[in-house]
Amino acid sequence: MSNDNQNDKLEAVEHIKINSNYLRGTIVESLNDPITGSIAEDDTQLTKFHGTYQQYDRDSVKQRQKQKLEPAYSFMIRARVPGGVCTPKQWLAIDEMADHYANQTIRLTTRQAFQFHGVIKNKLKATIAAINSTLLDTLAACGDVNRNIMCSASPEVSAVHEHVFNDSVAISEHLLPQTRAYHEIWLDGEKVTDTSSSTPDHEPVYGKTYLPRKFKIAVVIPPSNDVDVLAHDLGFVAVVENDKLLGYNVTCGGGMGTTHGDPKTFPLLAHTIGFCTPEQAVAVAEAVVKTQRDHGCRTNRKHARFKYTVDDHGVEWLQQQLADRLGYKLQAAKPVTFTSHGDRFGWQQNHDGSWNHTLFISNGRVVDNEQTQIRSALKAIAHVHQGDFRITPNQNLTIAQVSDENKAAIDVLLTQYLSKGQASATRQLAMACVALPSCTLAMAEAERYLPDFITQVEAIQAKHGILDRPISIRMTGCPNGCARPFVSEIGFVGKALGRYNMYLGGQPNGNRLNQLFQENITEKEILSHLDHLIGAYAQTGNEGEAFGDFVIRSGHVKSVTHGIEVHMVA
Ligand code: SRM
Ligand code: SF4
């Protein structure tokens, strides 16, 4: 259905976009309002397109209510960092901003970007301007547009990495919104009004109402599936032969977000719909985005992601849409194999002889505290490092392109600041979303709880003699799926404080969705199930068999073939 037919029952956000004059709304007035730490409600939708979300400290809400104070409003700012790559100079600037404007932490995200939390309204503009002065920006980091593009983070795996990374950046740049509102509001750019300017704003890809919903793209170089490409609206899977990039398999229609108790919402894995050459990738991305722009649902945001458009219309319809828009058909997809979706830690040598060191960062939170000096470590390393940093899709950080001469200096700093033992294989793979206290949608803890929870899982693994076997565990504070829990071997999705749905059976390469195993259970119940399952896995798991495969073979859950089966208790 084209969105032209939907006007009478459009979602409220659609009207906000239409009336916003290309994402301006009353953001400037809201920022200048001294009475409140918040912004007008409609503007909270529009600022997302500019890379910032209004939040409030959920820990202090009750206390502030008693004091008759409004919630402690602040803003999360998300930068756009295509492929997660930034320079040491940019890192140092980001580090300084964390102190100056935010809550003294940098949060690496599951999509290779970084976030600041706790930025108060009167520092918002200065913070966004400061991010821009580092030659990074926040434009389209959130909102109903294409978001930060992910790209495999390990340059060591392939000689084609640079080519693939450059293609990712080209797609990212091509799909950026063109409105000048961003520069006008945050960087004091020249004011443009829709009617008076001789060159009014124009959105060649998106049009005035942008997309029906957020849109996400990942580019991956097999055999690693570090980006979880099938969890994305659109994916490009590099096909490499004899160290040469032939092109990309194109995948469409993946996504994680669901709503508890609403069976019409479910996660989906993307379909492979064809193959394109590297030169065609930007045009293919544009054609896919425009298909979603014109056919995505604008009357129900819970059904508005591209995954539902593809699921509703089918793959053949999509292939025809693309052929009509591109003027040619995609070629047949080529065979590719994925082996894992985690990161490779420690030192790895690149094909060109330089080195990368990937550091485990617990849930991506770069902070100094009693447990870790990771923030100081990275600051010291940034002062001597001459290559670049790469935020990985698993919330970790790679110190990349290190020369032989520089490697020793970085090793000294790693030992000086991070001498504690290596995290277990399961901890290294684990991810949690931000959740409480900043996420307004969280129903349960995730980032603050996962480290202690993993300690208990490690004890169970040790008890059964398999502490060295990695099991991918992902936890989110609600079913939106920000840590991609539905492709992990064990997923925990928050239901209420201290209660989670438990999912089992993802594949360690991100190729299979897991399935609901137990609903709404407490830590005690979870640990008891884990003791039983991990014990059985230790005793009866086959040689080399992954935990996710074992729980299916042993009948604890079924092998899911369509997302609709994910929430059916096995
Ligand atoms: Fe997410 C909303 C954090 C990756 C699915 N996500 C949010 C918000 C902005 C809450 C809100 O709307 O008010 C969270 C802010 C929390 C905070 O305090 O910082 C939030 N999402 C995150 C991050 C920071 C999680 C993390 O721990 O790293 C990730 C930022 C990525 C980035 O740099 O752009 C993040 N979010 C994801 C992913 C994973 C991915 O994209 O690979 C997903 C699942 C994939 C997908 O989109 O299907 C994801 N986030 C959602 C959804 C559900 C979307 C849906 O289709 O239903 C929401 C809620 C929404 O959009 O209505 C959401
Ligand atoms: Fe917030 Fe839910 Fe995303 Fe976690 S999964 S960050 S709780 S929206």
Quick one: average pLDDT of 77-101?
97
Would you tell me how many other CB atoms lie within 10 Å of the CB of residue 283?
17
Instruction: Grade residue 244 by pLDDT with cuts at 50, 70 and 90.
Output: very high
Find the residues whose C-beta lies inside 6 A of ligand 1.
53, 55, 76, 78, 109-111, 113, 115, 147-148, 214, 216, 231, 255-257, 305, 364, 433-434, 438-441, 480-484
Band of pLDDT at residue 341, cut at 50, 70 and 90: confident
Tokens of 451: 């480290």
Residue 186 and residue 125: Cα distance in Å, rounded? 5
**Residue range 6-22: average pLDDT?**
89
Beta strand pairing status for 499-504 and 355-359? unpaired
pLDDT of 4 reads 42
Helix (H, G, I), strand (E, B) or coil at 391: strand
**How much is the pLDDT for 189?**
76
pLDDT at 569 (0 to 100): 74
pLDDT of 5 higher than 60: no
Is pLDDT at 158 greater than 90 in this prediction? no
Give residue 133 CA to ligand 1 midpoint distance, Å. 26
Q: Is 482 labeled as catalytic in the residue annotation?
A: yes
Question: 364 CA to middle of ligand 2, Å?
Answer: 14
For position 154, what pLDDT does the model report?
A: 79
- Say yes or no to pLDDT of 453 above 90: yes
pLDDT at 6: 55
Distance CA 150, CA 134 (A): 20
Q: Which CATH class is domain 346-425?
A: alpha beta
- From the candidates 344, 365, 482, 484, which is the catalytic residue? 482
Does residue 214 have an active-site annotation? yes
Annotated active-site residue in 433, 469, 484, 495: 433
Q: In whole angstroms, give the CA distance from residue 418 to residue 374.
A: 7
Q: What CATH architecture does domain 428-565 belong to? A: 2-Layer Sandwich (3.30)
Sorting pLDDT into bands at 50, 70 and 90, what band is 371? confident
Q: Helix, strand, or coil here: 547?
A: helix
Q: What is the Cα–Cα distance from 491 to 258, expressed in whole angstroms?
A: 14
In the chain, what are the domain boundaries? 144-341, 346-425, 428-565
Which CATH architecture group holds 144-341? 2-Layer Sandwich (3.30)
Whole-angstrom CA distances from 440 to 71, 74, 165, 172, 492 are: 12, 11, 33, 28, 19
Is residue 554 scored above 70 in pLDDT?
yes
Secondary structure of residue 239 in the 3-state scheme: strand
The answer to whether residue 155 scores a pLDDT higher than 80 is no
Overall average pLDDT of the 58-65 stretch:
96
Q: Same CATH fold, 428-565 and 346-425?
A: no
What is the pLDDT at residue 200? 79
CB atoms within 10 A of CB 319: 17
CA of 442 to the centre of ligand 2 (A): 5
Average pLDDT of the chain is 95
pLDDT at 372 over 70: yes
Question: SS3 of 240, please?
Answer: strand
| Distance from C-alpha of 355 to C-alpha of 531, rounded to nearest angstrom | 40
Q: Which residues contact 306 (CB under 8 A, 6 or more apart)?
A: 213, 215, 233, 234, 252, 253, 255, 288, 292, 296
- Mean pLDDT for the stretch of residues 503-514: 96
pLDDT score at 3:
46
Least confident residue range of 37-41, 141-145, 367-371, 500-504 = 367-371
Q: How far is ligand 2, taken at its centre, from the CA of residue 190, in Å?
A: 36
For residue range 379-418, what is the model confidence (pLDDT) as tens digits? 999 999 999 999 999 999 999 999 999 999 999 999 999 9
- Rounded Cα distance between 329 and 321, Å, is 10
Residue 522: what pLDDT? 98
- Measured CA to CA, the distance from residue 356 to residue 344 in angstroms comes to 10
> Is 1 a residue whose pLDDT tops 80?
no
